[in-house]
Amino acid sequence: MKRVRFRDPTGTIRGGRWLDDEGQASVTTALGEPDDDAPGKTYPAEAVDVLPPAEPTKIIAIGRNFADHADEQDAEVPDRPLLFLKPPNTVASHGSTVSLLPDKERLDYEAELAVIIGETCHNVDADEAKDVIAGYTCFNDISNRDDQRVETNWVRGKAFDNAAPMGPVLATPDEVPADATIECRVNGETKQSSTRENLVFSVPELIEEITTYMTLEPGDVIATGTPEGVGPLEDGDTVEVEIEGVGTLEHDVHIP
């Protein structure tokens, strides 16, 4: 099932299912299967504002979790997951125009598979990690390289407003293959292409490591890392992050 948060034409925020029938996307407030009798109202996708699929208290992002990306950054693959945080102010939605920092030489796109946590959890064993996963979504870890290169904790490099577009939906784990493809296109040109199989540290390993140190809450997000091919964004760019089993996150870029 693909769940979606959206604002309907009256301005009311709702939750429901994302439907895609022969390319005609729509959303419904019914959460059952399409042939269930559960009541619901259906809207064409273009008639609603799609909201981020979660409202995280925190985003835990993973650095250099694809060996080819570490190589293109002239960096070593870490011997344990490299963790950093992105706060709630970074979240941006599918279909939006994200306004980024002015006067920076390089602001990069980074396509990622993101995990959405479904329950409060701490000290989760990797073997039990699947029990705390609500689902997956597409994620763009936008990075300010100017400041990231010269600071240790990456606050200026990673935690600025609109630096975490995500969506459009939460796809339940059964929807996303173990070898799901991860792609990024900028203005229609493919820039990144890999699969979930190439993660250095798997999703269960990441959950075990993170929850050793901190409690995760429902709606918290783990951005699992980006493959090679990252590059700079320019004002007016359109970015698409497509993940097999989830769909395509699309947003435009505004750089003042």
Three-state DSSP string of 174-208: HHCCCCCEEEEEECCEEEEEEEHHHECCCHHHHHH
**Confidence label for 40 from pLDDT (cuts 50, 70 and 90):** confident
**Confidence label for 232 from pLDDT (cuts 50, 70 and 90):** very high
Q: Above 70 in pLDDT, residue 23?
A: no
Question: What are the pLDDT digits (tens) for 215-228?
Answer: 999 999 999 999 99
* Domain 59-254: assigned CATH number: 3.90.850.10
**Confidence label for 2 from pLDDT (cuts 50, 70 and 90):** very high
CB distance 69 to 141 below 8 Å:
no
The single-letter DSSP state of residue 75 is -
**Chain mean pLDDT for the chain:** 95
CB distance 182 to 194 below 8 Å:
yes
Tokens of 83: 């963790």
The whole-angstrom separation of Cα 4 and Cα 253 is 23
Tokens of 158: 């990673």
Looking at residue 195, what is its pLDDT? 98
Identity of the amino acid at 9: P
Rounded to two decimals, what is the model's pTM? 0.96
Question: What are the pLDDT digits (tens) for 113-150?
Answer: 999 999 999 999 999 999 999 999 999 999 999 999 99
CATH code 3.90.850.10 region(s) in the chain: 59-254
CB distance 107 to 141 below 8 Å:
no
Most confident of 12-26, 39-53, 89-103: 89-103
Count of other CB atoms within 10 angstroms of residue 190: 12
Name every residue whose Cβ is closer than 8 Å to that of residue 37 and which is 6 or more positions away in sequence: none
Question: What are the pLDDT digits (tens) for 41-80?
Answer: 999 999 999 999 999 999 999 999 999 999 998 999 999 9
